[in-house]
A and B are shown apart, each in its own frame.
Chain A
């Protein structure tokens, strides 16, 4: 599979997080995607049991190993979503409408579950190496 490029831009700003410092910054990155697992934008109904968002075990040795770029958003309007790594240990909780973007590594899978009910999650997973 030919390499692909993912362009990522993140902006953060606030005029009242700090009294004496205004926050306003934009960062960009051009990421090379060369893994064998490219999962485009997907939506899935969650439950209170963990489900994998990757369709095959994450692999590779580059940049710490088993690396992939992950975007996820909680599409629900009332219920939180929990994300865990392959040790079933939660590391992120998305409130309704919240999103995250990060490079995962050192884990064979990423899991998601709801704290209650069946909210929907939107995600993108792009394996590196």
Chain B
């Protein structure tokens, strides 16, 4: 079983007048699924959902750790992130996003209850880098 170390730091001096925000979280993950991917995807464009996994997510609750970054630097080229929940390769979610990545933004989510993740450009053809680590077989 592999070990993946992740660290998140968030800080701000001007969010609140009376409070400075600054903290760091770390975790040691043990992804043991049969699908571990690093990918880079040039999105097809507005109106088309591109999928990131090579086969349906599986294991208990179809869980996976997902890191993703929108590499675009162009204003307006955001990326809609949605779940594909029914049959593998069947798009049943009617463009129901749970996240969005603006240019340069990233996310890290332990996802569940989905077979795949769909990405759709709000405009243009942004490129997305991602790491998908299925949690269990």
Tell me if B109 and A92 are in contact (CB < 8 A): yes
Tell me if A33 and B96 are in contact (CB < 8 A): no
Instruction: Give bound CA distance, A17 to B98, whole Å.
Output: 27
- Min CB distance A61 to B, Å, is 12
Tell me if A14 and B97 are in contact (CB < 8 A): no
Tell me if A89 and B96 are in contact (CB < 8 A): yes
Which residues from chain A contact B112 at a C-beta distance below 8 Å?
82, 90-93
Tell me if A85 and B98 are in contact (CB < 8 A): yes
Size class of A's contact patch? 35 or more
In the complex, chain A residues 47-84 whose Cβ is within 8 Å of any chain B Cβ: 63-64, 67, 71, 73, 82
Q: How many residues of B contact A (CB 8 A)?
A: 52
Which residues from chain A contact B6 at a C-beta distance below 8 Å?
10-12
Number of cross-chain contacts by CB at 8 Å:
162
Tell me if B36 and A18 are in contact (CB < 8 A): yes
Which residues from chain B contact A107 at a C-beta distance below 8 Å?
97-98
Instruction: Give bound CA distance, A71 to B27, whole Å.
Output: 14
Instruction: Give bound CA distance, A21 to B38, whole Å.
Output: 10
Tell me if A64 and B19 are in contact (CB < 8 A): no
Tell me if A6 and B11 are in contact (CB < 8 A): yes
Which residues from chain A contact B104 at a C-beta distance below 8 Å?
29
- Min CB distance B2 to A, Å, is 4
Which residues from chain A contact B106 at a C-beta distance below 8 Å?
8, 10, 27, 29
Tell me if A99 and B25 are in contact (CB < 8 A): yes
B→A interface (CB under 8 Å): 2-12, 14-16, 19, 21, 23, 25, 27, 29, 31, 36, 38, 61, 63, 67, 69, 78, 80, 83, 85, 96-102, 104-114, 122, 131, 133
A→B interface (CB under 8 Å): 2, 4-18, 21, 23, 27, 29, 31, 33, 38, 40-41, 63-64, 67, 71, 73, 82, 85, 87, 89-95, 97-107, 124, 126
A-B contacts, 8 of them at CB < 8 A, read A10-B7, A12-B108, A67-B100, A89-B85, A98-B110, A102-B99, A106-B98, A107-B98
